[in-house]
Structure 1
Amino acid sequence: MAVYMGEEEVIQKNMALAQEKVYTVEDIEALPEGVRAELIDGQMFYMATPSRKHQGLVIAISGMLFAYLNQNKGKCAVYPAPFSVYLNEDNRTYLEPDITVVCDRDKLDDKGCHGAPDFVAEILSPSSRSRDCLLKLIRYREAGVREYWIVDPERETVMVYDFAENKVGSYTFRDKVRVNLFPGLEIDFAGMDLN
């Protein structure tokens, strides 16, 4: 049976968990079916059920990435959430990015990705904003993610962190946003029907 948590409930649960104990991947795996959470440096963060607009963005962006990768017959693969990323080998960081692209198939197994994906996009929600914009930004960069997008459906903005080139770009939903890892690929936010 799936468990659905709203934004307020998730924020309250996450605040209650703060500094309780150091959690590990084993704690994540022991959660009841349907309960999703992430770990950052041993702190557990429950995840709210995403909004319709959030899911629309995940589907649209993942679809454009999939079409490009399929057409260009590359070795990379795209995985929309839920998809497990075991970012560090320390067993205290486990993430489920909204969109993950992995080009090194040796990092993949049936559980997910072990190590840094090449591309990650997070779609912000009220309960994940600070985590996605600060904690994950730092962790992804340190781990070796090459490109990280923060998509804000509320403000209709996209921040692109090209860690490989040490560049940052800021865009709106009126723009076509270039995926720096893949020549010729642009995500057309203006062309998305998100209403």
Structure 2
Amino acid sequence: MPIDTNPIKYLATFADIETLPEGVVGEIINGTLYTNARPRAAHGHFEYRLLRELDDAFQLDREGPGSWWLLAEPGIRAGGSPEFSPDLAGWRRERVPLMPQGQWTDVPDWACEILSPTTRAYDTRIKRPFYARIGIKHLWFVDLDARTLTVSELRDGRWLEMGVYGESDDLIRAPPFEERDLRLGWLWKSLPPPG
């Protein structure tokens, strides 16, 4: 289904998200409610493995620099949006020293979206410019079908591509987590064949 980029007819609220049927997830960006079916199994599996790969070194400070809060699918109320949720998000502890008691209200320093056939256009055409507008500094796009990781950094309000890594790249160092090797080859190994 094509993305509706026409002007909105009403401003969506968090109440609109709360009324969605089971199995449907929603986000409100620039006042518009966007909905998608829950992600497929490979999406969730890769999300879990990537968070696990980053968690020990960057959140738990085991043999790494620590200094991050990392979460899967956090509901965030920031940037003028009543609710948006990257697949993965991270906040530097030097900027956000304490995890909030309730919902996150600070813009993340890093967001990661795992592209799928049903969310690719939404993630690239709606969320990517929204993330630039609210000032997320680092954005990763994982394409499970193409087996690629695209790493971008926000500079002067525009995304600068820092690298595209693929299935054959075993160990990489990618901003903002360049202090430690990321086992990209390990992340792809247990996924079903693309297609």
Give the alignment's TM-score, normalised by structure 2.
Answer: 0.78
Q: Who is 2:144 aligned against?
A: 153
* C-alpha separation in 1, matches of 2:82 and 2:168: 35
1:178 positional shift: 2.1
* C-alpha separation in 1, matches of 2:130 and 2:13: 16
Among all aligned residue pairs of Structure 1 and Structure 2, give the percentage whose two residues are the same amino acid: 23
Work out whether residues 115 and 143 of structure 1, in 8 Å CA contact, stay in contact via their aligned partners in 2.
no
Higher helix share: 1
Q: What is the letter of the counterpart of residue 178 of structure 1?
A: R
* Distance 1:164-1:67 versus aligned 2 partners, 3 A rule: farther
1:142-166 residue CA offsets vs partner (Å, 9 max, x unmatched)? 2121110010101111111122596
Q: What is the letter of the counterpart of residue 16 of structure 2?
A: D
1:51 partnered with 2:43: no
Give the alignment's TM-score, normalised by structure 1.
Answer: 0.78
Write out aligned runs for 1:1-195 (5 A): 11=1, 19-31=8-20, 35-69=24-58, 70=60, 71=62, 72=64, 74-81=66-73, 83-88=74-79, 90=80, 92=81, 94-103=83-92, 104-105=95-96, 108-163=99-154, 167-168=160-161, 169-175=163-169, 176-192=171-187, 193-195=190-192
* C-alpha separation in 2, matches of 1:135 and 1:118: 18
* C-alpha separation in 1, matches of 2:96 and 2:22: 27
Q: Who is 1:5 aligned against?
A: none
Work out whether residues 38 and 47 of structure 1, in 8 Å CA contact, stay in contact via their aligned partners in 2.
no
* Moved >6 Å (runs of 4+): none
Structure 1 runs not aligned, ≥5 long = 1-10
State the secondary structure of the residue aligned to 2:124. helix
1:82-102 residue CA offsets vs partner (Å, 9 max, x unmatched)? x112231x3x45211111111
1:23 positional shift: 0.5
CA RMSD of aligned residues (A): 2.8
1:59 positional shift: 0.8
1:129 positional shift: 0.6
Work out whether residues 86 and 112 of structure 2, in 8 Å CA contact, stay in contact via their aligned partners in 1.
yes
Q: What is the letter of the counterpart of residue 130 of structure 1?
A: A
State the secondary structure of the residue aligned to 2:76. strand
Count of aligned pairs between the two proteins: 180
Work out whether residues 69 and 99 of structure 2, in 8 Å CA contact, stay in contact via their aligned partners in 1.
no
Work out whether residues 75 and 85 of structure 2, in 8 Å CA contact, stay in contact via their aligned partners in 1.
yes
1:37-96 residue CA offsets vs partner (Å, 9 max, x unmatched)? 011111111121211211121011100110112223633111012x112231x3x45211
Structure 2 runs not aligned, ≥5 long = none
State the secondary structure of the residue aligned to 1:47. strand
